[in-house]
Amino acid sequence: MADRYQRFSNSGVGRVLVKRLGLPNPTPLRRHRPGDPALDGPVLLGAAPGGRLVDQVAGVCAAAGTEVVTSPAGAHGALVFDATGVRRVEQLRALYDFFNPVLRSLGTCGRVVVLGTPPERIADAEEQVAQRALEGFVRSVGKELVCGATAQLVYVEPGAEGDIASTLRFLLSGKSAYVDAQVIRIGVLGGNAAEPDDWASPLAGKVALVTGASRGIGAAIAEVLARDGAHVVALDVPAQGDGLAEVANRVGGSALQLDITAADAPARLSDHLRTRHGGVDIVVHNAGITRDKKLANMKDPAWDAVLSVNLASQLRVNAALLDGVLRDGGRIIGVSSIAGIAGNTGQTNYATSKAGVIGMVNAYAPVVGRGITVNAVAPGFIETKMTAAVPLVIREAGRRMNSLAQGGLPVDVAETIAWYANPASGAVTGNVVRVCGQSLLGP
């Protein structure tokens, strides 16, 4: 459903009224379009003394065709600061010294990225404290930025400096338009990152399974993974067969009608992927349902159905695919929700299932081995047919209660999943990234 308020607020009359009344002013986000530059201006690169990532950042930007400058003069498309050299509390002043003079130079839909060292990997207590402090800085900056700009914190484990390319490219581009104030870890649990031969088609030769692919976010995931070169096996229940076939045909993939909650579903799915495709490289657990009702009024079938589709089926499918069907270096990607982080009235069943998806990431990522990564996205308010049916007042609150003052699009979730799926993201595992414009709900 169109965001009429955003359209009005960006009209001539609307801009005047919004400014005069102090109303939310959502900037149209700059999303990825093939052929467009990643940013509208150069990257201003700075570092605290002793930082270890400056050369790597400059190299990634050069390879992506993005200009890097060290002079604060002029406008900038992104501000990137290497804070890995911050080892004492007083050294946090380097953040102020870098950002304070230049924050106003950040252009529309600009990017702020701070790089640090995972606190849990640091033995020295004060350095651990100083690095953990970066999180509060970045989340606050994210709330202060205007005009569609975003801020992110990336913790890079020592030894993983060469594995930052996919994450930095993602965060400095329109692909991360609705990802804001997130903390991403690289190399803590990850494996090898292999840069693709062609960054425009990083998934060439890969087979991707997308469940719940007949519409909405699932369809967008299928489209983006196919755009990036993957053959997509689009899966949904037989009742969605027509929509599923349309999506599969549109992306040049194949359709599989299957109820993933059926007792024989994992075995049938494994046999299909092994027989037809020789295995699978990317598994996206997108299938999900809602049966909303306050707990006191909820009936047994509503609880059981949501937990079965949204969580139990994923664990059963994982168990089957990890038995030799998911290839080495594969990807397991779950779709959680901010409801699984912050909870939501009338959604105890849904929030429980989505918190369980986060638990799946936490449990699987350290132990799956074979270079397989396990991550999840947690969408906030995304413009779909489902949210279009939400009552107007609740819908408007969902749209405005985030730092970007607008809802996201299904493609925003899909782009984040494609970043996880990229072979160059091999050191990115155990992450749950919210795609919510820095929602006021949750951390």
Nearest alpha carbon to residue 387 among 355, 339, 438: 339
Beta bridge partners of 80: 45, 113
Identify the helix (H) or strand (E) that includes residue 63.
Answer: helix 54-63
Q: How far does CA 246 lie from the centroid of its chain?
A: 26
Sorted by sequence, the CB contacts under 8 Å of residue 372 that are 6+ apart come out as 191, 322, 326, 328, 329, 330, 331, 332
CA–CA dist 189, 177 (Å, integer):
26
CA–CA dist 123, 158 (Å, integer):
13
CA–CA dist 145, 149 (Å, integer):
6
8-state DSSP, 408:
B
Q: Could you say which of 5, 155, 178, 350 is catalytic?
A: 350
Alpha-carbon distance values, 5 to 71, 108, 381, 386 (Å): 39, 20, 15, 19
Residue 350 appears among annotated catalytic residues: yes
Strand bridging mode 373-379 / 182-186:
unpaired
- Count of beta carbons in the 10 Å neighbourhood of residue 21: 7
Sorted by sequence, the CB contacts under 8 Å of residue 263 that are 6+ apart come out as none
Tokens encoding 418? 């494609």
Catalytically active residues, by annotation: 350
